[in-house]
Amino acid sequence: MKKIKILFSLMLTTLFVLVLASCTNVVDKLKLDTSNLEGKSFNEDGIGIVELGSVTDGDTANFFDYDGTYVTLRFFSVDTPESTGDVDKWGLAASRFTKDKLENAVSIILESDTGGAPEKDTYQRYLGYVWYKSSEDDEYTNLNLELVAEGYSKNTSKATGKYVDYFNEAQEYAEKKKLHIWSNEDDPLFSSEPMETDLKYINEHKEELYYKMVMFNAYIKQIDGQYITVEQVVDNELYTFTVYLHNTSATFLKTQGNLVKIVGTVQTYNDEYQISGIKYNQIEGENSALITQGYYLTFGYEINAAAPKYSFENLKVSSVTKDGDNYVFVGTTTRIRSTVEVSVTFTVPATEEINVNDYINKEIKFVGYNENGTKSDDVEINMVVRTLSDIIIQ
């Protein structure tokens, strides 16, 4: 009886090993017929040899088709964690995996799921499979399937997908092995706790901060669609940075002049550094937030076409004094289309020596912030200007 139990245990162990081995080889089991590729292009025939243009993230890349057509491809049956507009755990790891495979490939083939001309998604990106080989002697590997088998993506195959059984098997293997998204392990490339810093440090260390989460306070200087420019004075120097809002719903991040706390991740887009993956409305962790409605004020409204909340005629300067590291300007103005006189005092960092007499009894125009907010009936305003170069003498 004891021998039977041992034999049965060995049979189960052997069966388990065989099952795992079959799952491990699921990527190798899927083969591509390359016998009839001559003269074919992906965008017309649904299959064709391409050249790599660039890799966007783990499941999106750009290619040049056989006929020269530029193809942006969203990988079929794959949805890797985000690593561009939003930032998710394992997102950068998946992106680097895809980039490594494609940039080191000696040949790449795109294939549609339809057997003919490929479909497009709602963003007008082609949908398809990516096949690659790393050397001339290799067979082609399906990168989509490999991403699922490595645990970088769930299987999003349609029930009618041509390789659906392979993708089901690949996900089953990744789940059993607890790979990447199926694990409870920390992602060494993912920053879950923000580093409190300022724009000076970010500008001076952006390369080493790549894909790190940061938290800082800054004013919103400019808004351009889903992009905003924020600014901050540190050690009497003005620093700016670009923030990509993507799908962020926070309206306070879309108002010029607001002083805000921003929590996001340092990334690159088109070789330019930016903050994206903005954290807002989280249940846990640090959130982006409004600190002060420090309204953006315009003196001489043509200086800013964005029509800030409060605009004034050019300010007439009565005195300029130096106070420590700042110049203090005092003068009077009137609101646009108004005769009510408003007293204005503003400070600007003394980053250079000026001849104060050049400003006395002159009209100037500039943009600045009232850090305490501004009411429509205010007749005394105290504000700041970020840099001397913003001041234009009329």
Tell me, what's the pLDDT at 292?
87
Q: What is the pLDDT of residue 272?
A: 94
Neighbouring C-beta atoms of residue 379, cutoff 10 Å:
12
102-157 pLDDT per residue, tens: 999 999 999 999 989 999 999 999 999 999 999 999 999 999 999 999 999 999 99
For the record, the structure tokens of 151 come out as: 């645990």
The third-level CATH classification (topology) of the domain covering 195-292 is: OB fold (Dihydrolipoamide Acetyltransferase, E2P) (2.40.50)
| pLDDT value at residue 323 | 94
Identify the pLDDT of residue 9. 44
Burial per residue of 313-348, b for 16 or more beta-carbon CB atoms within 10 angstroms, e otherwise: bbbbbeebeeeeebbebebebebeeeeeebebebbb
pLDDT of residue 237: 84
Residue ranges, the chain, pLDDT below 70: 1-24, 302-308
Instruction: Show me where the domains of the chain are located.
Output: 26-182, 195-292, 296-393
Task: Look up residue 155 and give its two tokens.
Answer: 């299987």
Topology (CATH level 3) of domain 26-182 = OB fold (Dihydrolipoamide Acetyltransferase, E2P) (2.40.50)
DSSP E strands in 144-212: the ranges are: 154-155, 195-196
pLDDT digits (tens, 9 = 90+) for 285-339: 899 999 988 788 889 876 655 566 788 989 999 999 999 999 999 999 998 888 8
Q: Does domain 296-393 have CATH number 2.40.50?
A: yes
pLDDT at 52: 98
